[in-house]
Structure 1
Amino acid sequence: MINSISNTVLLKSVVSKRFFSSSAKMSSQAKPRHLVSMLELSIKELESLVNRAAYHKQQIRSGAVNTTQPLSGKTVSLIFNKRSTRTRVSSEGAAAYLGGCPMFLGKDDIQLGVNESLHDTTKIISSMTSSIFARVNKHSDIQEMCKYSSVPIINALCDTFHPLQAITDILTIKESFGNTTKGLKLAWIGDVNNVINDLCIAALKSGIDVSIAVPSGLKFEEAILSGAKEISAENGTTLKITNDPLEAINGANVIVTDTWISMGQEDERAQKLKQFEGFQITKEMISKGKAAENWKFMHCLPRHPEEVHDEVFYDEERSLVFEEGENRLYAAIAVLEGFVVNKGKLL
């Protein structure tokens, strides 16, 4: 969560203006469109990205060869200040699938934060590459990169949003419920974090009711919550926040959680475990909460046993976690295609 006043102002700008980047003009070309969060996509644009991801999945699984290679001869840079498994593999795989050359730039590989500012780094790297996947700490870092980049910035995770995961999750839900999302209910049992911030918005835009259970004392950023409520009202979906997991699970078709201890919070482990007592997802909890008969479980990984019991996580009929993980590749392909190949024209 973001606590600073300056970042709160930035979030309110996202919600009210639905902007994709700074309004500052590049001197020699039109400002590129960036992917920052789900707030900035229209319902139809999100649907299009999910459908394109499904298309590419079908093509790859059928063994079809991608002969177009629209990013041939171009470099796709990955600036990662945080370690990653799924995001790195899917981003590099997406670039390669579209004919591009992925270039991984970890925090120990470049001068960023040591001898060079984010402004200077963004200007230089964007001048030599077709796009930048940015996996950073602060949401304000994503905003600054969008301001100064001459190529699309794709938010590969910041402390407030995780749009690639949200697109992935909607694809996974759609595949698992007869190619539709309308009328479903999603229950989130866990922390207030970047994953649910974007998943909540994406689900509401996709016709999915959302019920969120978080421990007492945890609250959503007001700008994100107001944006979610606005979307809910516009799209005829419902949003409910409670401190009771059983209440959230009632009638849910999709049950989701995530890590309680994010990267950088390892020192807070004991405190977090106490705070989340009673939030481990078990089959007993799901039964007591009276989830829908066709319920499925999702987790964006990596997973820890305290978050969800093995009986749920490894249930081959109920758990979608590994399909969800694979779908990160197809979501990344759809985003690269939409924002880089098609220059942000998603419809």
Structure 2
Amino acid sequence: MSARHFLSMMDYTPEELGSVIRRGIELKDLRNRGVLFEPLKNRVLGMIFEKSSTRTRVSFEAGMIQLGGQAIFLSPRDTQLGRGEPIGDGARVMSRMVDAVMIRTFAHSNLVEFAAHSSVPVINGLSDDLHPCQLLADMQTFLEHRGSIQGKTVAWIGDGNNMCNSYIEAAIKFDFQLRVACPEGFEPSPAFLALAGDRVSVVRDPKQAVSGAHLVSTDVWTSMGQEEETAKRLALFAPYQVTRQLLDLADKDVLFMHCLPAHRGEEISLDLLDDPRAVPWDQAENRLHAQKALLEFLVEPAYRSA
């Protein structure tokens, strides 16, 4: 299969990722100026959702429409994939009918298997291992507000989950230092830590992680599929709540990000999203623009003029 996929940030060079992010900023400017730009006219994105979604569905669906194409939403109830059809068979069929496929799933292996049998690009809209599309948006947001993130220090506070794993990949690709503060037993994947080497450090004290940081990010303490662990996690993670006082320990120009949805009073204090250092709404909007740039890159790699 010759199609190029986006399952992980490691699939791309730093130059390619930087190009997609800069293109996202250009596409954002075109939309803000009301310029009609439809390079994907008559193209179709198939979207498979095994996990519920707000930002991923709206950003990909709206993005395809704005680029002149269309998107088809498929839940497990809507396809034979949810009724036992082999993933490879579904990939072979779908990729003969659409121009790209975005999948939001649980097991990362589902993405890998689907991509292995797909003749069109497959995009990771989220898996239990990674959330690379969110990191494109996060890196675009930092670039817009503060310039290059190269050489900066980023703090991740909370669970070493799929978002944390993607921040580790971003640290490798965008050349920044990452400090992860988490309770014992909730570290990010050892495989990702090994890949990053001394670029990533794991600490227990969130104050130590945040000290002097240029970007602080967090996520919910209980992800989809972990609901039975909620009470245990609330107790373990209570010292890891990000507050205005914690941000005060960071660099004076620090930005705070959250991939949303946020649970105010849990992983963040009730007032944190109102702090001028918090940019979650820009971050959420940039899912649209970064993913439009990614779609343009994958579906029409030779089309560049606006």
TM-score bucket (shorter structure): over 0.9
Which residue of the partner structure matches residue 258 of structure 1?
A: 219
State the secondary structure of the residue aligned to 1:113. Answer: helix
Distance of 1:330 and 1:258 partners within structure 2? 21
Residue 144 of structure 2 is aligned to residue 198 of structure 1: no
Distance of 1:137 and 1:104 partners within structure 2? 17
Residue 99 of structure 2 is aligned to residue 139 of structure 1: no
- Structure 1 unmatched ranges of 5 or more: 1-25, 233-237
Distance of 2:4 and 2:303 partners within structure 1? 5
TM-superposition CA deviations, 1:176-210 (whole Å, max 9, x none): 11x32233211110101111111222134223221
Residue 268 of structure 2 is aligned to residue 299 of structure 1: no
2:281 partner amino acid: F
Which residue of the partner structure matches residue 157 of structure 2?
A: 189
Which residue among 175, 185, 197 is the counterpart of 2:144?
175
Inter-CA distance 261–295: structure 2 relative to 1 (3 Å threshold): same
Distance of 1:343 and 1:104 partners within structure 2? 27
Residue 12 of structure 2 is aligned to residue 41 of structure 1: yes
What CA RMSD, in Å, does the superposition of the two structures yield over aligned residues?
1.7
2:205 partner amino acid: D
TM-superposition CA deviations, 1:165-186 (whole Å, max 9, x none): 0111000111111x32233211
Which residue among 31, 36, 59 is the counterpart of 1:60?
31
1:94 partner amino acid: G
State the secondary structure of the residue aligned to 1:276. Answer: helix
| Alignment TM-score, normalising by the size of structure 2 | 0.95
Residue 287 of structure 2 is aligned to residue 318 of structure 1: no
Which residue among 166, 187, 207 is the counterpart of 1:219?
187
| Alignment TM-score, normalising by the size of structure 1 | 0.84
1:342 partner amino acid: P
Distance of 2:206 and 2:143 partners within structure 1? 24
Which residue among 197, 201, 204 is the counterpart of 1:240?
201
Q: How many equivalent residue pairs?
A: 303
Contact 2:159 2:187 in 1 (8 A): no
Contact 2:159 2:188 in 1 (8 A): no
TM-superposition CA deviations, 1:134-167 (whole Å, max 9, x none): 1111010000001111100001111101110011
Contact 2:193 2:200 in 1 (8 A): no
Question: Taking every aligned residue pair, what percent have the same amino acid on both sides?
Answer: 37
Distance of 1:99 and 1:265 partners within structure 2? 38
1:73 partner amino acid: N
Contact 2:187 2:202 in 1 (8 A): no
TM-superposition CA deviations, 1:204-241 (whole Å, max 9, x none): 42232211101112233222112222xx6xxxxx4221
Inter-CA distance 224–343: structure 2 relative to 1 (3 Å threshold): farther
Distance of 2:212 and 2:84 partners within structure 1? 54
Which residue among 109, 119, 128 is the counterpart of 1:150?
119
1:307 partner amino acid: E
Residue 97 of structure 2 is aligned to residue 128 of structure 1: yes
Distance of 2:40 and 2:139 partners within structure 1? 26
Which residue among 340, 343, 346 is the counterpart of 2:299?
340
Which residue of the partner structure matches residue 94 of structure 1?
A: 63
Contact 1:32 1:344 in 2 (8 A): no
Distance of 1:70 and 1:294 partners within structure 2? 37
- Structure 2 unmatched ranges of 5 or more: none
